Amino acid sequence: MKALTDTRQFCDGLKVRAGPCGIHIFNRRTGANILLEEIQVSTTMWATAPRQVSVALTNICDLRCPYCYAPKNRANLDSMRLMEWLNELDSNGCLGVGFGGGEPTLHSELASLCKYTARHTGLAVTFTTHAHQLNDRIAADLKGNVHFIRVSMDGVGATYETLRGRAFSLLCHKLDIVRALAPFGINFVVNSSTIAELEIAVGFAAEMGATEFLLLPERPVHGRPGIDTRTIEQLQTWLNSYAGTIPLRISESGASKLAACVDPLSRETGLRAYAHIDASGVLKRSSYDESGVLIDAGGVMNALKVLELTTGDKR
């Protein structure tokens, strides 16, 4: 029998991952997750790669959002090197990769990377975008090779236009393209400017066909203080009374501030749960970290071991 650290694949789109919480069964085509927590396996059989890895394909973006955390140098990842890393992550138990940036649609090989990942690995393929660069040609190139899309939308109407510098009506048009391409969700930065529009934004997302709504409490970056205590309290109150139909999600860092959030994989934390590769090929604990480990000829799993030793973040 093959060890579960190799992550056995069976049926179409299914992967099995063993870890401290039990056996995790994931279907990348439907997004379904099943956790068999009553089944415990030896630590020697646990997956060694993070459950999810985000990859900044480029730092380039045509927007200038004030709360953006992405580095401002114009780095771009080499696609051939990245394919090798994706193969490593896949064979060591990673379930999904999320391409981002900067703006990933400005990376010339986004479509080929999604195609390779979808057809030659068992990883779920997602990408996060502001959507304004999407058009019918790009959508046709991506069709069938993306399992989920995350669209950034902070506020609605005039608030969105002030923060993002693009017409909200244009975003509505772009969401028609997104919806025809793959299931999608909305990413929503929560701060004092956007908190009052949460209810409207969730309703809009549901109306447009989004299948989830991800709350991202603003992080401190570039001199901005991040979400303030009053806004956190408002968010907590809103969550306590939420009765909408669209499922809510929240970033890991944001969940730590809110009492209502329960993580079914609470024992799979740190580098066992998540890691980030920036556009310069540096492996980090998160996209907000300023330092990490450069992925060299030893590959991404070796860099993960070094990062674990240097940060004390055990897998």
Residue 13 lies in a domain: no
Residue 171 lies in a domain: yes
- Domain range spanning residue 148? 47-311
The arithmetic mean of pLDDT across residues 73-77, rounded, is: 89
Residue 243 lies in a domain: yes
Residue 235 lies in a domain: yes
DSSP string, 196-245: GGHHHHHHHHHHHT-SEEEEEEPPPBTTB--S-HHHHHHHHHHHHH---S
4-13, 27-36, 146-155: least confident range:
4-13
Residue 200 lies in a domain: yes
Give the percent of the chain with pLDDT over 90: 80
**256-314 confidence digits (pLDDT tens):** 667 655 678 888 999 999 999 999 999 999 998 989 999 999 999 999 999 999 987 76
Write down the mean pLDDT value for the chain. Answer: 91
Q: Are 309 and 271 in contact (CB under 8 A)?
A: no
Q: 137: domain CATH number?
A: 3.20.20.70
Residue 42 lies in a domain: no
What is the rounded CA–CA span in Å between residue 19 and residue 22?
5
The arithmetic mean of pLDDT across residues 175-183, rounded, is: 97
The pLDDT value given to residue 258: 73
Indicate if the pLDDT at residue 96 is higher than 90. Answer: yes
Q: How many CB atoms lie within 10 A of CB 205?
A: 23
Residue 224 lies in a domain: yes
Number of structural domains found in the chain:
1
The pLDDT value given to residue 315: 60
Residue 199 lies in a domain: yes
The arithmetic mean of pLDDT across residues 91-97, rounded, is: 98
Indicate if the pLDDT at residue 51 is higher than 60. Answer: yes
The pLDDT value given to residue 68: 86
